[in-house]
Structure 1
Amino acid sequence: MTVGAPAGPQEVVEVDAVDCLFEPRPWPFAEERAADIAAHWAAALARKPRMFDGRVLLMHRGAVEADAGGRRTFRGAYLETSFSAFLFWRDVGLPPAGVRNGFGMACLQAADGAFVLGEMGGHTANAGAVYFASGTPDPSDVRDGRVDIAGSIGRELGEETGLDPAALAFDPGMTLVMDGCRVGFMKRVRSPEGAEALVERIHAFLARDPEPELARMHVIRSAAEIGPAVQVTAAAYLRAKLSR
């Protein structure tokens, strides 16, 4: 995920369900650029030695389908690759390569209507960027041959903020923010606490974590507060929701 301009026009779509399969297959881009990927990763590690080259899932097909009753479902499929290959693809500008980054975001909203986002820590690949709790799916999100996007969203929210998903209300359906190289699966998550109390709770969790992914939290109440550090998918979601 990147903070800058979207790759092509963005589309914001509401869907009732998401159904994504795990369909492993080679990623030709990663194979053809293996030497470049290795060199790029070595340079990235020299700058940020705490990064880890784990496995991630990238979407190789996906589209919104509507049934006869008007119910809309996003159906897609994912392959597995290395984080280093994903990072190289991202950092060279997300060129067309037969994949999209299909990730979930927990769009945390306080009881007073404000949205609460986190600023990525300096040791991370996206240092300084402001996001909703999110992450590119990984093999732990595969359940019975399917990629559990909703489960990934809940897991990332708990890991990054310390909030208990069971104490929050997850809206049905999802908002999709799509461009040429990304599909953001945006799930609104409502807290019974106001923004200030929510931020205080999360900051206390971050202070206890010896290696927190987030540096601090940000509160956004209006579209005018969406600054340049807000990641493009999160920014598109906020503009859509706060303009209503």
Structure 2
Amino acid sequence: MNREPQIRRVTRVEAFCRPLDWAWPKQNREFIEKNWKRRTVGKPQMFNGRVLLLQNVEFERDLCRNTYFEVDYADFVAWIDKGYPDPAIANGFAMGALRGSDGAFICGVMGNGTTNAGRVYFAAGTPDLSDLRPDGTVDLATSLTRELAEETGLSEDDYHVDDEWIIVQRWPTIALLRMVTLPMTAEEGAAKIRANIAAQHEPELQDVRIVRGKEDIDPERMPLFLQSFFGWVFDQR
């Protein structure tokens, strides 16, 4: 797989879930169990449910077609912590690129009780069984808005979502982004989100951060795919 960052626009995303007998978890069960115990110390909210990982991604003109499979969350976390040892598998997720009416972006700072505590990125989550439809399709559009609601407290009435998708490939991470625009400045949006976070019983975010230009890219806390996205966006301005 090509590990160099690639960014492209598409008008459609199709996603399906198909069975896959993933060998890596079977071969690394002891490491997975020890890693999960280490990861969950002091984090009772972490739950080993089923999530969806990418086994294939294809592009056809203006279409991105993704094929997922089910796996335990503990297996997924261990695969990440081991350094992505199976190069055929990827983490592919939908993400809302939240921005204010002034064009500045608003990222979340992940809370201490989460897997990625202190990391800075847009609200997102690995697709799970709640995104799976009876016909085997994966509803990434709903996954995007659900994660926004859970992390920021914003509802679909609070913003506009672009139809276009921006696919950021930095294997083994594939982020499927849509621009999400608030009818207020980024400063006003950040204040609204902070108020929402303060009212949540167990918030996933500890704060938000505004990104106005390349000077706000944080290489220590932002994942590589997001750094690539911001560099691409700000180069076009």
TM bucket normalised to smaller: over 0.9
Matched, 1:204 2:195: yes
CA distance in 2, matches of 1:40, 1:200: 37
Give the gaps of 5 or more residues in structure 2. Answer: none
**Residue 172 (structure 1) shift:** 1.5
SS at match of 1:12: strand
CA distance in 2, matches of 1:173, 1:49: 37
Matched, 1:114 2:109: no
User: What is the RMSD of the two structures over their aligned residues, measured on CA atoms?
Assistant: 1.3
Q: Who is 1:102 aligned against?
A: 92
Q: Who is 2:81 aligned against?
A: 91
CA deviations on 1:198-237 (whole Å, 9 max, x unpaired) are 1111011100111100000000000111012112222211
**Residue 140 (structure 1) shift:** 0.3
Q: Who is 1:217 aligned against?
A: 208
SS at match of 1:74: strand
CA distance in 1, matches of 2:87, 2:36: 19
Q: Which 4+ stretches in 1 moved above 4 angstroms?
A: none
My pick for the range that moved more, 132-141 or 231-240, is 231-240
Q: Is the 8 A contact 1:57 1:78 kept in 2?
A: yes
CA deviations on 1:134-182 (whole Å, 9 max, x unpaired) are 0100010012311111110011001110111133111112111112211
| Residue identity matched to 2:78 | F
CA distance in 2, matches of 1:96, 1:52: 23
SS at match of 1:197: helix
CA distance in 2, matches of 1:238, 1:162: 24
Matched, 1:227 2:218: yes
| Residue identity matched to 1:42 | K
Residue of structure 2 aligned with 1:41, choices 36, 48, 53: 36
Residue of structure 1 aligned with 2:3, choices 8, 21, 36: 8
Q: State how many pairs are aligned.
A: 233
Q: Who is 1:178 aligned against?
A: 169
Q: Who is 2:130 aligned against?
A: 140
**Residue 25 (structure 1) shift:** 2.2
CA distance in 2, matches of 1:124, 1:230: 15
Residue of structure 1 aligned with 2:64, choices 70, 74, 78: 74
SS at match of 2:46: coil
CA distance in 1, matches of 2:131, 2:169: 21
Give the gaps of 5 or more residues in structure 1. Answer: 1-6, 67-71
SS at match of 1:146: coil
CA distance in 1, matches of 2:38, 2:159: 40
**Residue 47 (structure 1) shift:** 4.9
Q: Who is 1:30 aligned against?
A: 25
CA distance in 1, matches of 2:201, 2:191: 18
Q: What TM-score results when the alignment is normalised by the length of structure 1?
A: 0.92
SS at match of 1:234: helix
CA distance in 1, matches of 2:158, 2:110: 24
Q: Is the 8 A contact 2:170 2:224 kept in 1?
A: no
**Residue 48 (structure 1) shift:** 3.1
| Residue identity matched to 1:14 | R
